[in-house]
Structure 1
Amino acid sequence: MLANDLRALRKSRGLTLAEIALKLGRSVGWVSQVERGLSTPSIGDLRAFAELFGVPISLFFAHEAPVEVERGVVVRSGRRRTLGSNESGLVEELLSPDLGGSFEMLRSIFAPGAGMAKPVTRPTEEAGYVVSGGFDIEIDGTWHSLGEGDSFRFDHKPFRWRNPGSVPAVVIWVVAPPVY
């Protein structure tokens, strides 16, 4: 649900309603109503939220569960939200129903030869499981070459990745708290 995702993004970045309102040029009341699902933001508002949080706007276009009892619980394979693009070398599918929980789960597909140029540090604990292909990850200055069935975990450490192989690498990635 959009409201839960916006609230989770704000909280994961340690921002208050007032700070968000100021950055968006909106009232605190309006931001609060959006986070509670009482107001619906326009496409322009969604672009502003996406830019503010540093996420793709596509994140906000959920594929709702076809059956009400599955909403917020089940994500069917054909209804995943896709993030990223082939041009970036990384396409991710959100496996979690939304960003409202204490973690997010992603299916990350790393293109052959793609890589992250510079390490980044996020205020998160992260773990991953290599489903297929080869995948290298640098954690806190040390490179690790992983293959199918290997896994990793790190907490608040600088990291970057690369796919040295000739086939896509598929990794299930868990991030707590959610950052998308």
Structure 2
Amino acid sequence: MLAGDIRALRKARGLKLAEIALNLGRSVGWVSQVERGLSMPSLEDLRALATLFGVPVSLFFGHDVPEERERGVVVRSAQRRSLGTSESGLVEELLSPDLGGSFEMLRSVFAPGAELKTENERPTEEAGYVVSGIFEIEIAGVWHRLNAGDSFRFEHKPHRWRNPGREPAVVIWVVSPPVY
């Protein structure tokens, strides 16, 4: 649900309602209503929120769940929300129904030669499982070469990644708390 995702992103980044309101040029009451699903942000508002949270605007789309009983529980493969573009070398799909839980699960596809050149460190615990391909990850200065069936986990450590192979590397990635 869009409202819950906006709330989860705000909390994950430690932002107050007033900070969001100031950034958007909106009232605190309006932001509160958006987070409770009582008001709907415009496309311009969603773009501003995406920039503020450092996420692709596409994260806010694709919330349609055909069956009400599956809402917040099941994500069908055709209903996944895509994050990123093939130009960046990394395309991710949100496997979790939303960002409101204590973790998020992503299907990450790393193009051959794709690389995160600068270290990324965030206040999260992360784990991954390599479904296919070759995937290399540097955690706290140590590189690890992983193949299909291998997995990893780290907490609050700087990391980088790359796909040295000739085929896409597919990794199921779990992040707690959610950061998208």
Match of 1:21 in 2: 21
Residue correspondence of structure 1 range 22-61 to structure 2 within 5 A: 22-61=22-61
- With normalisation by structure 2, the TM-score equals 0.99
Query: CA separation in 2, counterparts of 1:98 and 1:73?
Result: 9
User: Aligned letter for 1:111?
Assistant: A
CA distance in 1, matches of 2:35, 2:116: 33
Return closer, same or farther for 1:17/1:100 CA change in 2, 3 Å cut-off.
Answer: same
Structure 1 residue aligned with 2:91: 91
Shift of 1:37: 0.1
1:1-26 Cα offsets, whole Å, 9 max, x none, are 00000000000000111111111111
Give the whole-Å Cα distance in 1 for the aligned partners of 2:143 and 2:8: 31
Deviation at 1:63? Answer: 3.7
The code of the aligned residue for 1:139 comes to I
Retained in 1: the 8 A contact 2:132–2:149? yes
Aligned mates of 1:60, 1:81 — CA distance in 2: 8
Q: How does 1:98-109 map to 2 (within 5 A)?
A: 98-109=98-109
Provide, for residues 3-53 of structure 1, a one-character-per-residue CA deviation record: whole Å limited to 9, x for no partner.
000000000000111111111111100000000000000000000000000
Tell me the percent identity. 77
Which amino acid letter does the alignment assign opposite residue 48 of structure 2?
Answer: A
Within 1, Cα distance between the matches of 2:112 and 2:125?
26
1:176 matched to 2:176? The reply is yes
Is 1:144 matched up with 2:144?
A: yes
- Structure 2, unaligned stretches of length 5 or more? none
- Give the superposed CA RMSD: 0.6
Unaligned runs of 5+ in 1: none
SS in 2 for 1:22: helix
TM-score of the superposed pair, with normalisation by structure 1:
0.99
Q: What amino acid is aligned across from residue 119 of structure 1 in structure 2?
A: E
Offset of residue 62 of structure 1: 2.1
Contact 1:105 1:172 in 2 (8 A): yes
- How many residues align structurally? 180
Q: Is the 8 A contact 1:2 1:62 kept in 2?
A: no
